[in-house]
Structure formats: C-alpha cells, structure tokens
Amino acid sequence: MRIAIITDAWAPQVNGVVRTLTEVSEELRCRGHDVAVVSPDQYRSLPCPTYPEIRLALAGSGAVGRRLDAFAPEAVHISTEGPLGWAARRWCLRRKRAFTTAYHTQFPEYLARRTGLPAAAFWPYIRHFHRPAAGIMVATETIRSQLRAQRLTQLRPWTRGVDLALFGPDVAPPDLFFDLPRPIQLYVGRVAVEKNIEAFLANTHPGSKVVVGDGPALARLQGEFPEAHFLGKQTGLALAACYAGADVFVFPSTTDTFGLVMIEALACGTPVAAYPVPGPLDVLSPGSGAMAERLEEAIARALTLDRGACLAHGRSFSWQTSTDQFLAALEPVQTVSALPRAPRLAVAT
C-alpha cells in the first residue's frame, strides 16, 4: 500500500514523535509498503519562535498537494497540527479524501506552560483540527478519555515501541557513572520548559542527577543547577548506556501523551519515577514504576523495584506491534460524500 505521512516533526529534531514516525516508517517499508513522508526539510522553513530547532515549513495546500498527487497515496496520515498538517488537511477536505490524524502531544497543556494562558483556551484549536478526520490515533486510554470528553470520538489505538536490539541491561555504563554518588537519577528528553525538568533537578532525594538531551532551556538550567550533570544529546549505544547505568529514570513531564523514553529505560531494566499523570498512568505497571505527587517519594519507591520486572515490562513493547496498530487504524483513501463540518475556531476567554 502507498502510505503518505505528513509531519511537522522530523529529523534533525529529536523527540518521541520523530522517533515513532521514523521507526514505524522503516518497519512499513520492511513489510513492502511504499511510504512517502512529507516533512519540513522538503520546503523553505522558518525557526519556530522560542524553539529554533523546530522548523516551520513555508508550504501551503498547493505545494503539499502537488507532492501528494505525484505520490498517489492509498492512505493519508496527518501526524501533527503544524503548518504541513494544516496544508494536508485542507488538501484532503477540498478533494473529499479521507485521512487519519494522531494526537501525539498534550498541546493545550504544552501551550499553557509556554504562554501562561489556560489550557482550555486551546482546546477549540484541537477540536477544529481533528474533527474531520476519519480516525484519530491515540496511544493510551487516558488520552482517549480526554479526547472523548472533547467530543472527539473517532479514536483508534496506536501504541509505541522500543528498539529491543539496542536497549538492554547489558550495556556498560558511561565512565562518568562510576565516579558519581549513588543513586544516579536520570532524565532523558528535550530540555525545554514544558518538560518540567526543574521539578526533577530540584528534588531533594540524595544521589546524583544526570540530564541527557538538548533544547532551549539547557543554558538556563545549567546555570541554576550547577551540581547536576548535563551530557547533551546522546544516541545509539551511548544513550542505551545512560539508561542501563542509572539507578532510576525520572520522568517529570505532565504534558506528554505517552513518554517513549520511559519504555526505553524499562527495556534496560531501569525503574521509572513519575507523577500520576497521563502517560505514566498508562505505561507503567506496579512492578516497573512508582508514581506520587512528590517526586522524592516516587524516586524512593522506584529504587526498591526489581530490575528484572522492569526489564520484562519494557520488552513487552515493540515497533512491530506499533506498526500493526498503525496499519489497522489507517483509512483507505476514498471519496466521502459528507465529511463532518468543522466549527469556526473560537478561543475561550
């Protein structure tokens, strides 16, 4: 099948959306499907304000549509709510082409943290974007419940996976870890305000705090928390070594829909400490993670968990299963007689 995936998140960005789309696209190709990814690197783009690593493509529905026309997809999946996503959405609606979307990020909460406005102000934008989709792919039951409460009901499951050939418990830790006071508390991900990394770095549990990743908040956090260890972006075996060498993985975010880094840590046998919020509530089991309103309590409890149980839970996720669900959720391109009409976008005050 010819599958078009439209995404505003793509390499060289490093995040869960990019990882998911890269892995699933590769698995689809291995199964013989023809996959075309429409992404910002194919167009002129501008850096996103406050987030220059994210490029905003300067492409309308005409430019995106010409690329789709040339590919002639049998299924269209719009992965993100950015400029390319909107352009592909307009192209599909004008031609009455069925398409699917995905809800990867808690955008109302994400934008609330960046703007200071209430999250409720941004839900009309989300409803407007996703309502015409034949199906909305979501990773967890908690997110499904949230979207159903917003009257978005055409929901289809799409879980996440982990590279079990790369992430495992037998990778030697980084040399730095041998000199650090235990327990080593690890964060991996974007170093940005919406990830709530301050809560991790400010927690009072004894030991060492290690941050792996890059982002716009890196310089500020390095200045505010000089006792922490910032290793920058790590990939491949170097990243797996950080996971495997840590005593606990701390996931302080309250805006993620899944938290791919959690299952990567678990696949290395490392327990997870988190807040009881969407993502951790769905991903973690009692034997693989601990959740509490105080990170210190979650960390202390996570350190008592059996690493073998964590490993077993982490290895239950695979990109093969994720790809199976993605394929099942796709809507073959067809002419639709009457797609739902999206309401005018209104911002709550």
Looking at residue 334, its pLDDT comes to 60
Length of the chain: 349
What is the pTM (predicted TM-score) of this model? Answer: 0.89
Closest CA relative to residue 329, chosen from 40, 126, 108, 79: 79
Distances (CA, A) of 110 to 27, 78, 252: 30, 20, 14
Looking at residue 50, its pLDDT comes to 66
Contacts of 343 (CB under 8 A, 6+ apart): 124, 127, 128, 131
Q: Looking at domain 175-317, which of 3.40.50.2000, 3.40.50.300, 2.30.30.30, 3.30.365.10 is its CATH number? A: 3.40.50.2000
Distance CA 174, CA 180 (A): 11
- The domains spanning 2-161+322-329 and 175-317 adopt the same CATH topology: yes
Residue 81, SS3 per DSSP: coil
| Residue 342: burial class (beta carbons within 10 Å; 0-12, 13-18, 19+) | middle
Contacts of 312 (CB under 8 A, 6+ apart): none
17-37 residue pLDDT tens = 999 999 999 999 999 999 999
Pair of tokens at residue 97? 């082409």
In the chain, the amino acid numbered 183 is P
Pair of tokens at residue 62? 């005409």
Structural domain boundaries in the chain: 2-161+322-329, 175-317
Looking at residue 115, its pLDDT comes to 81
Spans of the chain below 50 pLDDT: 335-349
Residue 262, SS3 per DSSP: helix
62-94: b (≥16 Cβ within 10 Å) or e: ebbbebbeebebebbbbbbbbbbbbbbbebbbe
Beta strands in 189-334 (DSSP E): 208-212, 229-232, 248-251, 272-274, 289-291
Looking at residue 212, its pLDDT comes to 98
Q: 2-161+322-329 domain in CATH 3.40.50.2000?
A: yes
Looking at residue 110, its pLDDT comes to 75
Distance CA 127, CA 115 (A): 20
Pair of tokens at residue 149? 């409460």
